[in-house]
């Protein structure tokens, strides 16, 4: 019984390896495909980030523009470092910088800049205090 189960697992493994070799061309094919996908995603991130930066410049939102430029630069550097075997380990840093910039930019665009929100809250607080003092 154990021998039959072992043969079934071996047969399944051989079939899957054959399918893998046919579809991807083996381990080298899988690595090439993943490199192509990563390069395409990074390239599209750079293009989208550049368009956002230009949009922010047009609106004169320099804080969000700065985050877009840093994110695009980080993505571009990550693209180059990811294709050099000795520097692939540094793509973790560039990816973290890019994700951080994109996150802050999303917050900035949807809720206003952090500094703008702080100033607006301070201005609102000042108005409330003045009204309270004038009512006394």
Residue 63 has a CB neighbour count (10 Å cut-off) of 16
The pair of structure tokens assigned to 81 is: 């470092």
pLDDT confidence tier of residue 69, bands split at 50, 70 and 90: very high
Closest-CA residue to 52 (of 126, 128, 110):
110
Question: How many helices and strands in the chain, by DSSP H and E?
Answer: 5, 0
Q: Residues 10-36: pLDDT tens digits?
A: 767 777 776 666 665 666 666 777 777
CA dist., res. 132 & res. 119, Å (int): 20
Contact 83, 35 (CB under 8 A): yes
Q: Quick one: pLDDT at residue 123?
A: 59
What own/partner pairs with CB < 8 Å and gap ≥ 24 does 49-56 have? 49/75, 49/102, 52/105
Q: Quick one: pLDDT at residue 72?
A: 92
**pTM for the whole thing?**
0.59
Asked if the model's pLDDT at residue 117 lies above 50, the reply is no
Q: Residues 75-114: pLDDT tens digits?
A: 989 888 887 888 888 888 888 888 888 888 887 777 765 5
Residue 112 has a CB neighbour count (10 Å cut-off) of 16
**Higher pLDDT residue, 62 or 70?**
70
Question: Could you report how far apart the first and last alpha carbons of the chain are, in Å?
Answer: 92
Closest-CA residue to 75 (of 107, 57, 99):
99
């Amino acid at each position: 019984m154990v021998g039959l189960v072992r043969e079934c697992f071996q047969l399944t493994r051989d079939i899957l390896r054959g399918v893998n070799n046919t579809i991807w061309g083996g381990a080298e094919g899988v690595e090439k495909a993943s490199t192509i996908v990563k390069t395409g995603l990074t390239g599209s991130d750079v293009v989208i980030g550049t368009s956002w930066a230009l949009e922010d410049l047009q609106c004169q939102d320099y804080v969000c523009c700065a985050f877009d430029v840093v994110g695009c630069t980080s993505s571009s550097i990550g693209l180059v470092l990811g294709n050099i075997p000795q520097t692939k380990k540094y793509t973790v840093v560039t990816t973290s910088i890019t994700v951080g910039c994109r996150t802050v930019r999303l917050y900035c665009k949807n809720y206003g800049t952090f500094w703008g929100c702080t100033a607006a809250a301070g201005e609102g607080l000042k108005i409330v205090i003045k009204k309270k003092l004038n009512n006394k």
